[in-house]
């Protein structure tokens, strides 16, 4: 895994986006992508007081795992994961070298496997696939607090 420097410091997050990115070159690094997401959000909590619910932390890790797994499974070469805090949400994007659009199958509780994108779409506020000059980028947005407004962990900014 090759990680880009985070633009983190102790300034408020509302003034500018804060992001982290990393490239993953093989399937053994999928767990590292998950850890990067967890560590990024827990750092945002500790250093910036960003409220992140326990459920949101779990969902972000799940979405990162699914998207990076698909990129590593279906595209040759590395993939790039980017996480960015934007207005109380985290934007997750994964670039890979394949131009093939992802296939989201119809819901089928009898089907074993291939439910990853169904789950990603169900838990995300937005889901977008963009063609790039080389490959594609899948971008999703997830809220950082539960819709009920409760269960946030970390400090609340005032």
**pLDDT, tens digit, 9 for 90 and up, residues 13-65:** 556 679 999 999 988 899 999 999 999 999 999 998 999 999 999 999 999 99
On the 0-12 / 13-18 / 19+ scale of CB atoms within 10 A, 158 is exposed
Strand boundaries in 65-158, DSSP class E: 79-86, 89-96, 126-131, 136-143, 152-153
Closest CA to 117 of 78, 77, 107: 107
**43 close to 8: Cβ distance less than 8 angstroms:** yes
Q: Which DSSP state fits 157?
A: P
Distance CA 36, CA 30 (A): 10
- Over residues 71-127, the pLDDT tens digits come to 999 999 999 999 999 988 999 999 999 999 988 777 777 877 777 888 899 999 999
* 34, 63 contact by CB (below 8 A): no
């Amino acid at each position: 895994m090759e990680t880009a420097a985070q633009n983190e410091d102790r300034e408020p997050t509302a003034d500018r986006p804060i992001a982290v990115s990393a490239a993953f070159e093989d399937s053994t690094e999928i767990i590292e992508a998950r850890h990067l997401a967890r560590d990024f959000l827990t750092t945002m909590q500790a250093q910036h007081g960003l409220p992140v619910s326990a459920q949101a932390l779990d969902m972000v890790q799940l979405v990162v795992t699914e998207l990076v797994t698909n990129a590593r499974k279906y595209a040759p070469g590395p993939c790039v994961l980017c996480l960015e805090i934007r207005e109380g949400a985290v934007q997750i994007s994964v670039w890979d070298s394949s131009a093939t659009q992802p296939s989201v199958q119809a819901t089928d509780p009898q089907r074993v496997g291939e439910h990853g994108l169904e789950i990603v779409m169900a838990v995300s506020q937005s889901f977008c696939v963009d063609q790039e000059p080389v490959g594609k980028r899948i971008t999703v947005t997830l809220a950082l607090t539960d819709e009920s407004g409760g269960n946030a962990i970390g400090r609340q900014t005032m």
